[in-house]
Chains A and B, each alone.
Chain A
Amino acid sequence: MKTADTTFDLGEVGQFQPHAKYHHGLDMVVYLAEDCSYVSEPVDGFLTLLWHPYDTRLVGIKLKGFRYAFLQLQNKLGWKEGDWLPLQRFIETWLTNGLGHEIMKSEEAKHKYRLAQDYVAQVCLVSDEVEKIASAA
């Protein structure tokens, strides 16, 4: 690793913790488990896999157009104010409510959705983040 010998005063910068975050500007949820560069591989208009730059392993996922999907699924998810939103259940609900029909036609897409679901098995979007989405609608 070389240095470009350029120093910046960035003020207070937090310590990295894996977390899921809603980005209003691009209407997407990003879950990143490692602070590293990643390579994005779009699966379709909803899911993007984030791969480690040198190894064949996931470091995160993106769920795009999240607000639309959330509003479609809100009742089926049984989500209410103050609840955290488990991402695995969210993807499963997305797939099993007629919206995943196209995805299920492709073995490759099915495999990638499975990868994503397994990867976020323990990941939730915290209630503050979900409420941002619900209130922005």
Chain B
Amino acid sequence: MSIPSLPPPVHNSLEIVRARSPFDYDETLLLLRSSEAWDDFRASGKLSKIGQYFGLVHSGIERVDGAGMHGATACFRGLLRPRWNRPLDDEICVYSMNPRRDFTMQRAADNVKFTLQDLTPPRSRVFVVLAEVPEDPSDPRLEEWRKIPGLEEVRGLIHDWEWTVPGLDDDNFPAASRFHEQLWQERRRRHENR
């Protein structure tokens, strides 16, 4: 797997993830991992979710040969859950990726140390990351997410990640009909399609 070129790291924290802006493919944003989701995954021992975060979502882990979420190949916005929970559903961005591995964590005997392990990914599936990214850079939610020192540049919140079924028309992506709109596909594909 080739390693895509990345912008220099701007934050070393494991709870911060670099991703392309949903609104501008050429801009890189910092997204914060939701503490609600993470606390649940830790408390309930969901090692698969934790392993996927370190192996597939975060891009700064040594010896993991991927760009993480920054290597997403498409971005969609707006979950189609009519009548329910707007505006949240409108503002969820779904980043789509095609990793060649899956990950989990293995617990060491001390019950504190964990080792990242890679697994064969599910066949013909795509990996998606769901993040809440307000389009307005002065959105009040950002203040809440930036309360902790060092997080002043955060532009969104990562809620979840999972493998999902691809669309019938293109098995590289989830079906576009699941979302309000498709914001971008990776530049190479866009050029090929011109």
Contact = CB atoms under 8 A, between A and B. Distances in A.
Contacts of A80: none
In terms of DSSP, what is the predominant structure of the interface of chain B? mixed
Contacts of A23: 36-37, 40, 159-160
A35 B48 contact: yes
Contacts of B44: 14, 16-17, 19, 21
Given A23-B159, A27-B84, A37-B163, A13 B63 contact: no
A10 B160 contact: no
Contact of B47 (A2, A16, A17, A26): A16
A53 B121 contact: yes
A49 B130 CA distance: 17
Given A23-B37, A27-B84, A1 B119 contact: yes
B178 A42 contact: yes
Contact-residue bracket for chain B:
35 or more
Contacts of A42: 164-165, 178
B42 A11 contact: yes
- Smallest CB-CB A-B distances: 7 pairs: A65-B84, A16-B45, A53-B122, A45-B81, A68-B84, A6-B116, A14-B45
30 contacts: A1-B118, A4-B118, A5-B63, A6-B64, A9-B114, A11-B42, A11-B112, A12-B42, A13-B45, A13-B111, A13-B114, A14-B43, A14-B44, A21-B40, A23-B40, A25-B36, A25-B157, A27-B84, A37-B52, A37-B104, A38-B163, A39-B162, A45-B80, A45-B81, A45-B84, A46-B81, A53-B121, A65-B89, A68-B84, A68-B85
Interface of A: 1-17, 19, 21, 23-27, 32, 35-42, 45-46, 53-54, 64-65, 67-69
